[in-house]
Structure 1
Amino acid sequence: MHLFDFTLQLPITDPTWIFFLVLTIILFAPILLDRLHIPHIIGMILAGVAIGGYGFNILERDSSFELFGKVGLYYIMFLAGLEMDMADFKKNRKKAFVFGLITFSVPMILGIWSSLTLLNYSLITSVLLASMYASHTLIAYPIISRYGLSRLKSVNIAIGGTAITVTLALVILVIIAGLFNGVIDQLFWLLLIAKIALVCFVIIFFFPRIGRAFFRMYEDNVMQFVFVLAMVFLGGGILELVGLKGVLGAFLVGLVLNRLIPHVSPLMNHLEFVGNALFIPYFLIGVGMIVNLKSFFVGGDALKVAIVMTVVATCGKWLAAWFTQKIYKLSANDRRIMFGLSNAQAAATLAAVLIGHEIIMNNGERLLNDDVLNGTVMMILFTCVLSSFITERAARKITMNNDVHEKIGETKSEENILIPVSNPDTIVNLVNLALVVKDPRRKDGLIALNVMNDHHSSSTKQNQGKKYLEKSAMIAAAADVTMHTVSRYDLNIASGIIHTIKEYNVSDVVIGLHRKMNIVDSFFGATAENLVKGTHRQIMIAKCLMPINTLRRIVVAVPPKAEYEAGFTKWVAHVCRMGNQLGCRVHFFAHPQTLDRLDVLINKKFKGLRSEFTELADWDDLLLLTGQVNFDHLLVIVSARKGSISYDASFERLPAQLSKYFSNNSLLVVYPDQYGDPQDNISFSDPRGHNESLNYDKMGQWFYKWFKKN
């Protein structure tokens, strides 16, 4: 009896070893290719060529590669729609539509001409072959995502053009397939248009509403992740029912869920991580496994067909990008980005060649013969490699140019956002709020604080505080942001926060609105009031009745002369970042002079923001805003400290108005930065400033309990 009963047979069929080899390729291919400065995508495809049936026959392209490959393809299209800057896309939708028509028409014209004259194919074969050149797959999109350029104008144009050209190419495929099945008639056209319109209406109208309702009911990250995947494949499956490819459905689902999944959020990070770590590499390895290099060296026209197909497809896509660049006067790097994203052939091309290969014409020949099949695989390999190289180089140049501009520009003050945590029910919303207002380019700058009172400290309170800090750090880490946690003892919570602000150079504080326990409690609470008095830094007091990502609109009430405050630019930037991340429309209500300043500032720094401006006739009575704020809106009140330029006596009535008119709305009260020292400084040598108010509160609570008892 042998100690190890092991016999090696190729191809390997054991699922354990198949998965191990694939993970090994995914792990080591980027490590090896980084030394050669070759994009990771190429390594995955070449690895697939080597281990496939036409290479060393180590693995067979079985059902697992088909399953994970389809998931990976859906993932690429879904992420492309999810990460698109919708505000910028709407602004550039005409450019995207024009690019889509050009990148479809130019390869179609060149393809039909080359197939008729150089390859001597029939007209129908030439049209189907040309439609394969016209379509493309966003193979290089993970490179764009890795460099953080997914919101670039040229990227949005290329992605929007992809939807146009892939749709037109698949319509041609459906028509030619229907022609040989004998179903092309007037009823065919009516049914096709009706089915496409119905499916698009269902996805666009119902999916966002279902998603918003689900995210409000369930905040668990695992449940949200599984729900999003289910929606992606539901959209793809519905579109396949009408005869089109599911990749368009996945892309459409990404677009409609774009507003519900902020770019900087734990859910977004989970989606990108799983796709880039597993599904997309699986798809790329599967593409490489269908490449048969031997077919080009055994005679026949396979090599000639492959060269013609590759040259025509590449030239057609480059000309389309060049025409678009000249029409809209874009930069050379923008042209390279558009060409790199639109040159790779994979998804729709594979579908077209496989369907065309299965169609038998009247003379007994296949519509697309074996030479075209092998030539298509060669074209896929070449265009994917070229697309990856071009996109990688262009992305690197753009990133380096941006870094240069940042170095020669003005030095920006450091942004550190402090989040005091004491209530487990508000931790998730406070951290998510801080994530959407912070600078998205920074992967740090968040500080979670738990303050324990000297007089009421215990081991239980200590353990609770540690759990709150760990929960905050986990939420931030899930969004790929590093959070620094601080636990400290102090005289009271307000003084602990103020001392932490000084020690860690905090620029902003995000704190939850306290829960009013009895009639003597103030609206904001003693901690928030003492904090406003004790620091000149920006303070945001939040009450979130629903998850941040499900808000549909942000309504901002701005007092007169707010533009003269030191923190005016900062709070405007934070609100605009929030609007961009959530895809919300931001509606400003303010004095006409303040509106003019807001308009200039937003057009200068946040051009893509969907904003509205309305004159607020009377700041004294916020009842005027009740008709503008719905249950799924966020009301932002820009307040001011006593003695500041924009302070008004009406602010004294603000707590009563908020509790009376907006008790069922999500609120964010902002106290902007102000010049000079705080009005009531606190230090360890003189801590009395924040204890006097607490003594008055204790006296009021004693009278309240005495009257209640009697």
Structure 2
Amino acid sequence: MNQLMILAILLFTALFFRQVFLKIKLPTVLGYMIAGIFLGPSILNIIHGSHLFSSMAELGVIVLMFIAGLECDLQLLKKYFKPSITIAFLGIILPVIGMYWIGQIMALSKIESLFVGIIFAATSVSISVAVLKELNKLKTQAGTTILGAAVADDILSILLLSIVISFAGIGDSDHQVNLYYLIASQIGFFLLICLLSFIIKKIPLDGLEKLKSIFPILSLAFLLLLSGIAEIVQVSAITGAFFAGIIISQTKYKDNLTNQIDQFGQLFFIPLFFINVGLSVKLDGIFDNSGLFILILIIAVLTKFIGAYSGARLFKFSRNNASQIGIGMISRGEVGLIIAEIGLKNQLISTEYYSTIIAVIIITTIITPILLRMVIKAK
């Protein structure tokens, strides 16, 4: 079966499940993921992930995060900066401790145990963003804080990953120099974001009406550029995409651009991202080590929820808003998958446990939209 036929089958099936989940009042992103599970190795086993699908899915998630940046209220983001950092920190430290403990039970080395902790310290904000957008809750106190905390979480997790890999002796012989260079390049990246934000605000766009017709293409090029730079300095591409959206949101073309990019993304690339998550599900990771799977899943959910919930309550957030934040941070999604793959390639995860860890990451990604919608509707 050729790639075009496969894409057609994926989209028809995704559309069917989307309508089913709309009828039963569950997030449509869950329908897309179920479509992937249905067609993938877990059930029918007629479609498998490929480099082409992965590339298009990656474009989908960075477009989604670009839209989140465009729609984000910058003043609210600044207002909730301290809670976001606190929530991110607690949402990292508790999973690292919990998973380190499980690693020791599994008789893994200290470095291996710490690496498992880093995998589950990560948060995939893209899942929560999709649900919050669907329910028009992206600009609320909880929605803004989830965005800020998840971006901070990703940055801290990637930095922690880099430090562990450096001290584990992976890469060139001069690890400390590489680590310092990495930190310096990441600082340079965020300084670049500040500079670009300042420049955008100073450009007199009122006199450049000719830009209006090509601004969407310029914005997409800028999105890809900043996402690419983010990957070069080993900050996730979705973080670069989010900040690209925030920078562009300061222009007068923001509203029109948001509608155009949203239509562009929702037409194909964003659904494909969620479908690809479903295609990644393999039931052998659940059934081969069912006891370990359940234990890791419970610790993964509880440590992230408790850490984020506690951080929100420290700043006097209501119980419902704190619960939204706690649940919104549970999904590990593509960030967890990327870190796990790095660990496998660098022999920091045993192949014996890899499929189980991947299964837990996927399940946290699937349950997050269900729980988040429930707690939002309960308000």
Pairwise same-fold verdict (TM > 0.5): yes
Question: Does 1:287 find its partner at 2:265?
Answer: no
2:320 paired with 1:319 = no
Describe the shift of the 1:183–1:237 C-alpha distance in structure 2 as closer, same or farther (beyond 3 A). Answer: farther
Is contact 1:212–1:260 with CA below 8 Å preserved after alignment? no
In structure 2, the residue matched to 1:480 is none
**8 Å contact from structure 2 (residues 226, 240) kept in 1:** yes
Cα distance change, pair 93–295 in 1 and its aligned pair in 2 (3 A): closer
Q: Does 1:245 align with 2:231?
A: no
The number of aligned residues is: 375
Alignment of 1:204-215 (within 5 A): 204-206=194-196, 209=199, 213=203
Q: CA deviation at 1:261?
A: 5.8
Mapped to 2, the partners of 1:233 and 1:211 lie a distance apart of 20
Aligned with residue 49 of structure 2, among 51, 55, 61: 61
Long gaps (5+) in structure 2: none
Deviation at 1:133, TM superposition (A): 1.1
Contact 2:223–2:241 (8 Å) recurs in 1:
yes
- Structure 1 Cα separation of the partners of residues 161 and 151 of structure 2: 15
Residue of structure 1 in register with 2:95 after alignment: 107
For residues 125-524 of structure 1, the aligned pairs below 5 Å read 125-138=112-125, 139-178=127-166, 179-183=169-173, 185-206=175-196, 209=199, 213=203, 216=206, 217-219=208-210, 223-260=214-251, 265-297=255-287, 299=288, 302-359=289-346, 366-398=347-379
1:124 aligns with 2:105: no
Alignment partners' CA distance in 2, 1:268 and 1:219: 19
**Structure with greater strand percent:** 1
1:78 aligns to what?
66
Aligned letter for 2:115?
L
Q: What letter is aligned with 1:124? A: I
The TM-score with structure 2 as length reference comes to: 0.91
8 Å contact from structure 2 (residues 94, 303) kept in 1: yes
Equivalent residue of 1:260, what SS? coil
CA contact (8 A) 1:170 1:348 kept: no
Tell me how far apart the structure 1 counterparts of residues 73 and 88 of structure 2 sit (CA, whole Å). Answer: 18
- CA shift for structure 1 position 196: 1.2
Work out which of the residue numbers 19, 32, 57 in structure 2 matches 1:44. 32
- Match for 2:85 among 97, 102, 106? 97
- Deviation for aligned residue 1:220: 5.9
Offset of residue 182 of structure 1: 4.3
Q: Distance in 2 between matches of 1:208 and 1:48?
A: 42
Gaps of 5+ in 1: 1-11, 360-365, 399-710
Q: Distance in 2 between matches of 1:177 and 1:271?
A: 37
The amino acid of 2:376's aligned partner reads: A
Displacement of 1:188 after TM fit?
A: 2.1
Aligned residue type for 1:230: A
| Counterparts of 1:331 and 1:380, CA distance in 2 | 28
1:292 deviation in Å?
Answer: 1.0
**Does structure 1 conserve the Cα–Cα contact (< 8 Å) formed by 2:285 and 2:356?**
no
Q: Which of the pair has more CA radius of gyration?
A: 1
- Structure 2 residue aligned with 1:428: none
TM-score by length of 1: 0.50
RMSD over aligned CA atoms reads 2.3
Cα 1:221–1:340 change in 2 (3 A) is farther
What is the rounded CA distance, in whole Å, between the counterparts of 1:42 and 1:319 in structure 2?
A: 24
Which amino acid is 2:159 matched to? V
**How much has 1:186 moved relative to structure 2?**
3.6
